[in-house]
Amino acid sequence: MGSAAAWHLARRGRNVVLLERFAPGHTNGASHGASRNFNLSYADPTYVSLLSEALPLWRELEAETGQSLLEQVGIVNHGENPAFDDVARALGGAGFDAEFLGPAEAGRRWPGIRFDRRVLFTPQAGRLNADRSVSALQAAAAGHGAEIRHRTRVTGIRELRDGRVHVELQAQDAAGETVGEPEVIVARHAVVTVGAWTGKLLGTAFLGTALPLPRLVVTQEQPAHFAARDDTLRWPGFNHTRAVGDPDYDYWLSSVYGMFTPGQGVKAGWHGVGPVTDPDARTFRSDPAQLEALQRYAREWLPGVDADSFTEISCTYTTTPDENFVLDRRGAITVGAGFSGHGFKFTPAIGRILADLADGRPAPRLFALPRP
């Protein structure tokens, strides 16, 4: 999100420095790896509007950088989800296609998946390459004059009485050890998008007091890539909703999402049920019970994979109580946080909102900080 904000601000002619604590391509946060679903399944008008903005922005970024980022392989949503009709209406009103299929027809199209009850297919949805997208955003920002600094940890940030913001930073080596002397940047504005570290960094940033953030819960999520049995199968992305109260779903921890990741297999995971963690003290290891349940899901619902041949993945979610994002400004500090495991698809549109906030324009009210 910070890289997207840097891209938008730099091409508006702003003097931008992008600070990233870790090395390029690191695996410590929530934006690494080769695949994220570009999922269109929203009914809320604010999110549908962001989807309509994000799609052409992804294509604009591709054209600017020469990178292929989004493959529109479609996404199938299935199971017992009462929101499907509202989603289909909202997408149709925004110019997106949404097609209902029976489980048998869906199974003929995509035999790697066993389909459940109702099936909603969104053909303009697809798969984003996350690592490549972050690199492209940074390259595009640099192309417009932004300075990109990796391995630079922000150790403190606070608003000054004169309305500027004081940012303390420390260079680090590949092992995270301190290099050289601390530095200070005094800026007109700071956009803070540090994911799981948001509460830690912004604890006393606003004139010595905490920003009024909602409760942000950081969890270590533990999906896996399962080996595909047949490399010739077509794989859309998928989201599967369980039937509440049906004992056949008792082992489920949440709904399930997934997609095919070229060269790695079929990614599948529970949504937002990993153990609460400190981002500086993660284990990067899956909870055995959650992993066993995920394997059982793969055996029962993904006939196109080998449930016993997999590679574990570890990432973080930073989740708000209502799973809506935080995009707002207080004084000289703009914060983007709480993307709750569903934010990546919106990245270039969120970058635009963050840039607008830094320039003094409002964000959608749905994403506002709590008022005192």
Helical segments of 223-274, H only: none
In this prediction, what percent of the chain has a pLDDT beyond 90? Answer: 92
CA-closest candidate to residue 102, choices 86, 119, 77, 123: 119
Q: What is the pLDDT of residues 50-80, one digit of tens each?
A: 999 999 999 999 999 999 999 999 999 999 9
Sign of CA dihedral 211, 355, 279, 324: positive
- Residue listed under structure tokens 């994403």: 367
**11 backbone dihedrals φ, ψ, rounded to 5°:** -80, -10
Domain chopping of the chain, boundaries: 2-30+132-216+320-367, 36-128+217-319
- CA pair distance 295, 302, nearest whole angstrom: 10
Rounded to 5, what percent of the chain is helix, strand, coil?
A: 30, 30, 45
**Confidence at residue 212, expressed as pLDDT on a 0 to 100 scale:** 85
Up-side HSE of residue 233: CA atoms within 13 Å toward CB?
Answer: 23
**Average of pLDDT values for 105-125?**
98
* Inter-residue contact 159 to 333 (CB < 8 Å): yes
CATH superfamily of 36-128+217-319: D-Amino Acid Oxidase, subunit A, domain 2 (3.30.9.10)
Sign of CA dihedral 303, 307, 313, 319: positive
Q: What is the pLDDT of residues 138-158, one digit of tens each?
A: 999 999 999 999 999 999 998
**Confidence at residue 203, expressed as pLDDT on a 0 to 100 scale:** 75
Lowest mean pLDDT: which of 102-106, 212-216, 265-269?
212-216
- Residue listed under structure tokens 């000054």: 160
Instruction: Tell me the two tokens of residue 370.
Output: 């709590």
**Confidence at residue 145, expressed as pLDDT on a 0 to 100 scale:** 98
Q: How far apart are the first and last CA of the chain?
A: 26
Q: At 60, which amino acid appears?
A: E
Task: Assess whether pLDDT exceeds 70 at residue 208.
Answer: no
Query: What residues contact 14, with CB distance under 8 A and at least 6 apart?
Result: 355, 358, 359
Task: Assess whether pLDDT exceeds 90 at residue 293.
Answer: yes
* Inter-residue contact 356 to 251 (CB < 8 Å): no
* Inter-residue contact 192 to 200 (CB < 8 Å): no
**Confidence at residue 205, expressed as pLDDT on a 0 to 100 scale:** 54
**Average of pLDDT values for 127-133?**
98
Q: Give residue 164's Cα distance to chain centre.
A: 30
**Average of pLDDT values for 302-324?**
97
Q: What is the per-residue DSSP string for 26-44?
A: -SSSSS-SS-EEE-----S
**Confidence at residue 303, expressed as pLDDT on a 0 to 100 scale:** 98
- CA pair distance 40, 38, nearest whole angstrom: 7
Instruction: Tell me the two tokens of residue 212.
Output: 């009024």
**Average of pLDDT values for 324-353?**
97
Sign of CA dihedral 224, 225, 229, 233: positive
Decide the pairing of beta strands 237-241 and 75-79.
Answer: parallel
**Confidence at residue 67, expressed as pLDDT on a 0 to 100 scale:** 98
In this prediction, what percent of the chain has a pLDDT beyond 70? Answer: 98
**Confidence at residue 207, expressed as pLDDT on a 0 to 100 scale:** 46
* Inter-residue contact 269 to 225 (CB < 8 Å): no
Sign of CA dihedral 134, 136, 140, 142: positive
**Secondary structure (3-state) at 84:** helix
For domain 2-30+132-216+320-367, the question of CATH label 3.50.50.60 is answered with: yes
